[in-house]
Amino acid sequence: MSWIPRTLFGRTAAALLAAFAGVQLMALAVVWFSVVEPLARRSAEDLAARIELAAQTWVELPPQTRDDYELELALRHDLELGAVNRPLDTMEPASLFGDRLEAALQRRTGQAIALKQGPDPAWSWVELRLAGNLLRIGFLKKNYQLQAPLAAAGILFVGALLTALVALLMVRRTGLRLKRLAASAAEVGQGRLPALLPETGAVEWQELTRAFNQMAAEVQALLENRTTLLAGISHDLRTPLTRLRLALAMVEGADAKLIARMEGDLAEINRLIDAMLGFARALQVEPAQALDLNGVLAELAQAASAPERVQWQPAGPCVVPVGELALRRIVGNLLENALRYGADQPVVLQLICAEREAVIEVCDRGPGIPEAERAAVFRPFYRLEQSRSQAGGGSGLGLAIARQLADAYGWRIELAGREGGGLTARLVIPRG
């Protein structure tokens, strides 16, 4: 299983988030070691020096002046100092500033110092033993603990996060436009003219959508011109063919077998012209309409060239939006191929109606199609080796027309071997 996302948005998002995470970690490391750590150490050293000086001064003062000194410390320096009989029991939680302050006091006093909590959580307390006295000195946390660098790091993180979100939104928008472009390209490939894409956004997007819209219109015009050209050629060829038939009918004294053979060739040419005309018209897409496939398939089974050999297996009600003429032509072609090459065995026509798609299967007991040639049989004029005779092989356009029609509607034609021998041809129609 690959951890690399498959979509453009997923890959770009992963790359951006990884890059922002790396930059953020480096930025935090720089802020931490160049700003937060030095300032925390300096602030702790200053407070430790002030506590040590206050405690030594208190010890050296006469007892009658100590109350005034304690009041001055509270008013000017937000420090509470006084002698106590027993130490506090509750320790302060570990913190960057607290650890630095404890270390600084230990270096200055040579005593094991630990910050402690009193009744007021806004204050922290330090206890020192000097000249036989247990002194407790308290300070307001908010006046000494370092806040600004941490706030700066938070602002840096929020800024990086907003930048990443904006970049991801832009990538998401680009991905959606690329999806629309891919869907429109698929419609062009199916022979349809998609809705024009809006020529908005950056200059590059405008140039791309303008070029795509122009290409789609040109492809559609090319397909229409091809249909018109083939139809015109087919129509124009019928006139000399008619004259040739008339000339053959007026020939007297010629070999009857030769005349019959020539008439058969003319009929084959006329059949090929009809097939070419049908191939050209296969790109013309009709509007889809909701139909119950059971009724259409039942009619096709009855209209087959050998209806007695067709075993029709209906499903429950299966209403699907389809182009009816295209559906009849595709299934009719698959059904006739199965009857033609099915070795005079029964042909099964069945409908499988699932939630997401409807599947029409035509199953025969003929020689089948080798797996290596199942893609090639959809090419125009391609015929398998054993069916190259004009009598049995056809023109080689039936499956090509069926594939063209299926692609135009977004359907799929699949060929697979049938268990027990033969071929199964499937037409898969999405129900969405």
Q: 336-392, pLDDT tens digit by residue?
A: 999 998 889 999 999 999 989 999 999 999 998 998 899 888 887 777 754 434 444
**Residue 63 corresponds to which tokens in the numbers above?**
């007892």
Torsional sign, CA 178, 179, 181, 186 = positive
pLDDT, tens only, 234-260: 667 777 777 777 777 777 666 777 777
CA distance 55 to 136: 9
CA distance 318 to 351: 9
Question: With contact defined as beta carbons under 8 Å apart, do 191 and 408 qualify?
Answer: yes
pLDDT, tens only, 7-54: 767 777 777 778 777 877 787 777 777 777 787 788 888 888 888 888
The pLDDT, as a whole number, for residue 268 is: 77
Torsional sign, CA 335, 230, 182, 323 = negative
Sorted by where each begins, the domain ranges of the chain are 8-148, 212-281, 289-430
Superfamily of domain 289-430: Histidine kinase-like ATPase, C-terminal domain (3.30.565.10)
pTM listed for this prediction: 0.50
CA distance 70 to 72: 5
**Residues with Cβ within 8 Å of residue 36, at least 6 apart in sequence:** 96, 146, 149, 150, 153
CATH number corresponding to 8-148: 3.30.450.300
Question: With contact defined as beta carbons under 8 Å apart, do 92 and 115 qualify?
Answer: yes
CA distance 174 to 180: 10
CA distance 199 to 274: 42
**Residue 409 parent element (H or E):** helix 398-409
Average pLDDT, the chain: 81
* Fold designation for 212-281: Helix Hairpins (1.10.287)
List alpha helices for 190-292, DSSP H: 203-250, 256-281
